[in-house]
Amino acid sequence: MSGSPAQRKLAAEEAAFLKQKPLSDVLAVLNGEGEETRVVGGAVRNLLLALPLHEVDLATTAAPKTVIDRVTAAGFKAVPTGIEHGTITVVADGRPFEVTTLREDVETDGRHAVVRFGRDWKKDAERRDFTINAMSLSGDGTLHDYCGGLADIETRCVRFIGEADRRIAEDYLRVLRFFRFFAAYGVGEPDREGYVACARARPKLGALSRERIRAEIMKTLAAKRASDAITAMAEAGIYDAVFANAPELSALSRLMLIEQSLEIETDAVRRLAAVAVRIDEDAVHLRERFRLSNEEYRRLYSMADRWWQLTPASGEAYAKETLYRVGPEEYADRVLISFAHSAASLADERWGALLSLPSRWSAPKFPLSADELIRRGVEKGPKLGKALAAAEAAWIAADFPEDAAALQKIADGVLS
């Protein structure tokens, strides 16, 4: 890495977002009087990759107190979200910007870093993880690249800054971030030096919190090359260190092809089920290992075991019953997971028809109530529950009739 950065002036259309409010106002407030503030990180990377800018982070030579004083005087809100690390969230016109004072690492233990504030843009860039995340952009549209990020953007290479082992030792979460960024932005094979360094560091992953691991894994699974990344993790021994079970790589790969073929929206939980859930115990294991939410666990558990096997051969009656009992989301999960684990051709149009059932048929509400059966002489208690269940089963078997005569026949059958 050279002492002077590679610089490039962005074209006017590329730099246009810098002139848009409220970003331009925040930059104006924080620049000047001996201080400099730039756009950094993911916003710069995504801009160069022609991807949406979801959030804009800023770095500044100004000390945190100076940031607070300046933005408050300008009428913006300053929230000290990470002031011990130099980060202030500035809220301007309802839009948040994370503003972080330039830093240098003093001490790291693989999970946390002790930092000191500085004014050296190169040192701040060199403490980041990957070259593509270390570029900065001045308010006038000048791009600053201290670590070779531009070249790696052009080749879509996710590369650690400097020595990969050293970067990883600063924060072992970077092992998982390497594969997550490869899944999102990489082409070809993972950078070899980074891959080997990550494999060496796998015993250290146990020091990470389950919440941090979960966040990286779910983002990896949501990315466009999730299957390639998970396969690379498995080959490096990292999948086993994180998941502690054997991956179903072919099922994940097929599910992603199915999503593309049927234009299904990416779903990280469903992809997690495809690669890591075979039986109920797998879902229970992942809930504990990744601290999954109750909703994530419920969905994973519903996709386990697959005793329900929802396929075109199941028939429309079974498909309707499944949709009625579990609802549209879980129904879609079951169809797609069954398809992913099947040997069926991806061109088999029957699967698309099965998946589209919720758009063609809305499951009605069961029309018979407990009060109705009580009026007909059924006693409250276990008998009533059994009678209701029998009536519902008969109603489903009769293809969900709603006319009075059919319902009368079902009720009479239960009471006979």
Interval 185-209: pLDDT, tens: 999 999 999 999 999 999 999 999 9
- Of 101, 105, 98, 69, the C-alpha closest to 86 is 101
Confidence class for position 23, pLDDT limits 50, 70, 90:
very high
pLDDT digits (tens, 9 = 90+) for 207-223: 999 999 999 999 999 99
Confidence class for position 414, pLDDT limits 50, 70, 90:
confident
The whole-angstrom separation of Cα 347 and Cα 91 is: 50
pLDDT of residue 306: 67
Rounded to 5°, angle at Cα 7 from 5 and 9: 160
Name the token pair of 259: 């999503």
Q: Among 115-129, 164-178, 296-310, where is mean pLDDT lowest?
A: 296-310
Give, in order, the Cα–Cα distances in Å from 331 to each of 309, 374, 416.
Answer: 11, 33, 34
- Of 258, 271, 231, 229, the C-alpha closest to 348 is 258
pLDDT digits (tens, 9 = 90+) for 320-362: 999 999 999 999 999 999 999 999 999 999 999 999 999 999 9
374-394 burial: b if 16+ Cβ within 10 Å, else e: eeeebeeeeeeeebbeebbeb
Rounded to 5°, angle at Cα 57 from 4 and 221: 105
Helix (H/G/I), strand (E/B), else coil: 290: helix
Task: Judge whether 153 and 144 are in contact, CB under 8 Å.
Answer: no
The whole-angstrom separation of Cα 105 and Cα 124 is: 9
Q: What stretch of H or E contains 413?
A: helix 404-415
Confidence class for position 379, pLDDT limits 50, 70, 90:
confident
- Looking at residue 278, its amino acid is R
Query: Which ranges in 127-225 belong to alpha helices (H)?
Result: 149-155, 164-170, 173-185, 192-200, 210-222
CA 232 to chain CA centroid, nearest Å:
18
122-136 burial: b if 16+ Cβ within 10 Å, else e: bebbbbbbbbbbbbb
